[in-house]
Amino acid sequence: MSHRICAAALIPSGFALEQFHRTDTGLEIVVRPTGKTSICPECGSSTSRVHSRYRRRLGDLPLAGRPVSVVLIARRFRCSTIPCQRRIFTERFEDGAVLPWARRTARLDLLVYHLGLALGGRPAARFAHRLMTPVSNDTLLRAVRRRGRPGFTPPHVIGIDDWAWRRNHRYGTIICDLELRQPIRLLPDREPATAQAWFMDQPQIAVVARDRGGAYALAAARALPDAAQVADRWHLMENASRAFLEAIRGSMRPIRAAIGATVINPALLSAAERLQYEGYVRREETATTIRRRRASGA
């Protein structure tokens, strides 16, 4: 009885529990639909004329560390609408808990989709086995593809940069919507013409954040002459950092004079400071040796 109460709380809405038992491979929940009628997928009319019943076996979310399969006592209905081409159909479930042809419940399919999306095929398959939801790498990738790409919202503020398909071998271009904070396109290479062609299809773009190289700047200038071009945050910081270091490096003599040169006495340093100082002395000796040998033609 306690099993019955527990399982009844876990089955999807629209189904009634028939049986619940343990098997050699996990848990098995037998359910039947509670609705009296079903909607013909062809003409949309409702019917209560049952043609036959059969059993469908569906994978479901694991329970208490055990794989769960749902045995659904599915019905086939007759469509009696005269002009309708379909005469017999398997009942559809309105809340989408079980889709036609599905071998998993919708809630398990959602888990499979997110695993595939987050980890890829094989890593997700290994993880899924540990989650007691064994699926193949192919199925995980199919689940991701089946749901297709997310909708495309024309961007207004974008960031563009190159990225490596394989480092030092092949590079592509990544474009991000900076308002949505999401990557929106991967281009196959980093050629200006490729980026320019993509820009041409997006005349609504108002701001292009890019690197310091000339390629993307040229592509944006040609395709989007009215768009503002700005250095992206990373390259801005890189520029500022480099300019600061150059300014400091060129002014070290007056800076040392201003703060007063100090002679370091190692005996007065802490252990950590002494290690740091000794490393500095070693590097200076190495650099001096290299300069001397180079000057002598080595």
Partner DNA sequence: TAAACGCGTTGGAGGAGGCG
Partner DNA sequence: CGCCTCCTCCAACGCGTTTA
CA separation (Å) from 177 to 105, 158, 257?
Answer: 34, 5, 50
Q: What is the 3-state secondary structure (H, E, C) of 100-155?
A: CCCCECHHHHHHHHHHHHHHCHHHHHHHHHHCCCCCCHHHHHHHHHHCCCCCCCCC
* Only segment of 25-33, 79-87, 270-278, 290-298 that touches DNA (CB under 7 A): 79-87
C-beta contacts of 283-286 below 8 A and 24+ residues apart: none
Nearer to DNA, 69 or 173 (CB): 69
**C-beta of 166: minimal distance to DNA in Å?**
8
Nearer to DNA, 46 or 251 (CB): 46
Q: Is position 121 an interface residue for DNA (rule: CB under 7 A)?
A: yes
The tokens describing 83, both together, are 């002009």
Rounded to the nearest whole angstrom, what is the least distance from the CB of residue 12 to DNA in the complex? 15
Rank residues 128 and 195 by Cβ distance to DNA and give the closer one: 128
Contacts of 199 (CB under 8 A, 6+ apart): 205, 219, 220, 222, 223, 224
Contact stretch for DNA (CB under 7 A) within 136-144, 150-158, 210-218, 266-274: 136-144
Positive or negative, the Cα torsion across 82, 85, 87, 88? negative
Query: Taking CB under 7 A as the rule, does residue 90 contact DNA?
Result: yes
Q: Which of residues 31-60 bind DNA (CB under 7 A)?
A: 41, 49-58
Residues 169-198: x where in contact with DNA by CB under 7 A, - otherwise, as a string? ------------------------------
**Which residues are at the interface with DNA (CB under 7 A)?**
41, 49-58, 74, 76, 78, 85-90, 100-104, 120-123, 134-139, 141-143
